[in-house]
């Protein structure tokens, strides 16, 4: 028995271990020779490797190109600098560190620098106010309202007597939401073997809760258009959010949690409070970013010290106001302090996902250092650090096919 990369598989090889999808459903059973259709399914699902009988498919072939030692060293040094606040002896952190170095070194010159140097960020003219949350609530800023269709969807879902047809009817009222959801359903996030061209079929195949969670997360993020360019780009923020949603969903699946779709939405929306800061309070946001660089501290801690609350608490307020499910509200609220959450496991999932995505440098939500790992949260997940290699590969694969959700990179 040997491990073979999916891209090296050939028809006729025999899989010696069952291959399952994110929900634990059987994709391929062991013991049978595989065909080209099976290989295609594995690729659609982003399964990076499988166990096969006999010798490795690339035995005797030339070894893969080694990573340029100069890139490896550069990636190690850069990653080292950004893990300043994180306990490096922890097995999960050590594994993330190693995977990140390999990922970044492998991309070499393609990798953009992770964060602007402190001197690139100008100090704000005015010092921020404390007790920001009170001020924010009192000010009652004109936030965009959730589209009525999402509220309608929520109602249909919360009624146990609603049918999948009723839900499809609600979604069909919005051509743009319908088009977007069908694109997502046909992406490698779901790995469906054939194209889905109508909502009723999508509801049947992936479920009402899943589709509604997707509609919620995507609709909320698309309400916000522009972040001041002095802070960061909307594309970069959405990349960070989307990657965090994907990793959260994959970690939930590794834990065989049932509600993976809510973890996707919670990951997608985890930094929504920071989006509000960036758009409506750019001075406060700039001041916090500047201070985090100056003091080599995490941005969320600086927000708390200088504003009296951090972005996750602002996020909680918003999600509560928009009446999102409590599990999403609490997960977002406690993603930096998962041990304090009423249910620590979902918060721990997004906590670890955020750490991993920050470490990989996929987009950014303003943190220049990797947030420290809460060791208790990691223990609560009962996962092995070895899961990160597969999670990273599947995340990159899925992110690639969800590229259409990101705005163009405009100068």
The footprint of Fe ion (CB under 5 A) covers: 271, 354, 365
Between residues 210 and 354, which has the closer beta carbon with respect to Fe ion?
Answer: 354
The minimum distance between CB 335 and Fe ion, in angstroms, equals 6
DSSP letters of 348-397? HHHHHHHHHHHHHT-S-SS--SPPPP-HHHHHHHT--TTHHHHHHHHHHH
Q: Is the dihedral of CA 278, 317, 329, 208 positive or negative?
A: negative
Tell me the closest approach of the beta carbon of residue 207 to Fe ion, in angstroms.
27
Supply the DSSP symbol for 6: G
- Minimum CB separation of residue 273 from Fe ion in Å reads 8
CB of 114 to Fe ion, least distance (A): 14
Instruction: Give the residue with the Cβ less far from Fe ion, 174 or 239.
Output: 239
* C-beta of 267 vs 325, nearer to Fe ion: 267
Q: Is residue 220 within 8 Å of 269, Cβ to Cβ?
A: yes
Handedness of CA 384, 389, 393, 396 (dihedral sign): positive
| Distance of closest approach, residue 147 Cβ to Fe ion, in angstroms | 24
Q: Which is nearer to Fe ion, 92 or 269 (CB)?
A: 269
Going by their DSSP bridges, the two strands 2-5 and 49-52 should be labelled as antiparallel
Distance from the first to the final alpha carbon of the chain = 51
Report the residue number, 212 or 365, with the smaller CB distance to Fe ion: 365
Nearer to Fe ion, 187 or 365 (CB): 365
40 contact partners, CB below 8 Å, separation of at least 6: none
Minimum CB distance to Fe ion smaller for 365 or for 395? 365
Question: C-beta of 257: minimal distance to Fe ion in Å?
Answer: 20
Give me the residues paired with residue 26 across strands.
20
Give the nearer residue to Fe ion in terms of CB position, either 191 or 245: 245
202-211: list long-range contacts, CB under 8 Å, 24+ apart: 202/168, 203/164, 203/167, 203/168, 203/171, 204/164, 207/261, 208/156, 208/157, 208/162, 208/164, 208/167, 209/157, 209/259, 209/261, 209/262, 210/260, 210/261, 211/167, 211/171, 211/181, 211/185
CB 364 within 8 A of CB 237: yes
Q: How far is the CB of 62 from Fe ion (least distance, A)?
A: 40
Q: Coil, strand or helix: which one is 20? A: strand
Nearest to Fe ion of 44, 391 (CB atom): 391
- Which residues contact residue 196 at a Cβ distance below 8 angstroms, ignoring those fewer than 6 apart? 182, 185, 186, 202, 205
* Distance in Å, CB of 319 to Fe ion, minimum: 14
Report the residue number, 260 or 365, with the smaller CB distance to Fe ion: 365
How far is CA 87 from each of CA 93, 95, 96, 372, 374, rounded to the nearest angstrom?
A: 7, 12, 12, 7, 9
Rounded Cα distance, 117 and 336, in Å: 24
How near is the Cβ of 396 to Fe ion at its closest, in Å? 18
DSSP state letter for 90: S
Query: Least distance to Fe ion from the beta carbon of 266, Å?
Result: 11
Quickly list DSSP for 135-153.
HHHHHT--PPPPPHHHHHH
Shortest Cβ 336–Fe ion spacing (Å): 6
Nearer to Fe ion, 103 or 237 (CB): 237
Which residues are paired to 2 by β-bridges? 52
């Amino acid at each position: 028995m040997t491990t073979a990369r999916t891209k090296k598989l050939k028809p006729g090889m025999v899989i010696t271990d069952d291959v399952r999808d994110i929900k634990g459903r059987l994709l391929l059973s062991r013991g049978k020779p595989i065909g080209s259709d099976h290989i295609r399914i594995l690729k659609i699902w982003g399964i990076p490797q499988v166990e096969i009988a006999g010798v490795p498919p690339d035995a005797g072939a030339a070894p893969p190109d080694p990573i340029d030692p100069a890139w490896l060293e550069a990636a190690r040094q850069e990653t080292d600098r950004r893990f300043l606040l994180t306990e490096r002896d922890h097995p999960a952190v050590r594994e993330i560190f190693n995977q990140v170095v390999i990922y970044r070194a492998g991309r070499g010159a393609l990798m953009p620098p992770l964060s602007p140097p402190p001197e690139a960020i100008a100090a704000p003219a005015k010092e921020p106010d404390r007790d920001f949350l009170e001020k924010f609530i009192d000010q009652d800023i004109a936030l965009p309202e959730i589209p009525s269709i999402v509220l309608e969807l929520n109602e249909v879902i919360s009624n146990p007597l609603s049918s999948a047809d009723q839900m499809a009817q609600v979604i069909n009222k919005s051509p743009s939401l319908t088009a977007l959801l069908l694109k997502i359903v046909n992406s490698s996030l779901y790995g469906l073997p054939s194209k889905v061209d109508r909502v009723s079929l999508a509801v049947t195949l992936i479920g009402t809760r899943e589709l509604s969670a997707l509609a919620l997360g995507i609709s909320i993020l698309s309400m916000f258009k522009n972040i001041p360019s002095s802070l960061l780009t909307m594309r970069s923020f959405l990349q960070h959010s989307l990657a965090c949603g994907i990793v959260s969903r994959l970690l939930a699946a590794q834990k065989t949690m049932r509600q993976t779709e809510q973890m996707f939405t919670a990951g997608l929306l985890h930094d929504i409070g920071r989006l509000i800061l960036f758009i409506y309070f750019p001075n406060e946001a700039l001041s916090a970013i500047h201070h985090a660089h100056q003091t080599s501290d995490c941005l969320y801690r600086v927000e708390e010290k200088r504003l009296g609350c951090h972005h996750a608490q602002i996020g909680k307020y918003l999600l509560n106001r928009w009446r999102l499910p409590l599990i999403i509200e609490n997960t977002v609220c406690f993603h930096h302090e998962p041990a304090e959450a009423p249910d620590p496991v979902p918060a721990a999932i997004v906590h670890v996902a955020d750490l991993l995505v920050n470490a990989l440098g996929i987009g950014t939500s303003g943190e220049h250092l990797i947030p420290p790992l809460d060791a208790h949260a990691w223990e609560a997940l009962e996962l092995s650090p070895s899961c990160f290699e597969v999670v990273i590969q599947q995340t990159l694969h899925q992110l690639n096919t969800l590229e259409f959700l990101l705005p163009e990179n405009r100068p």
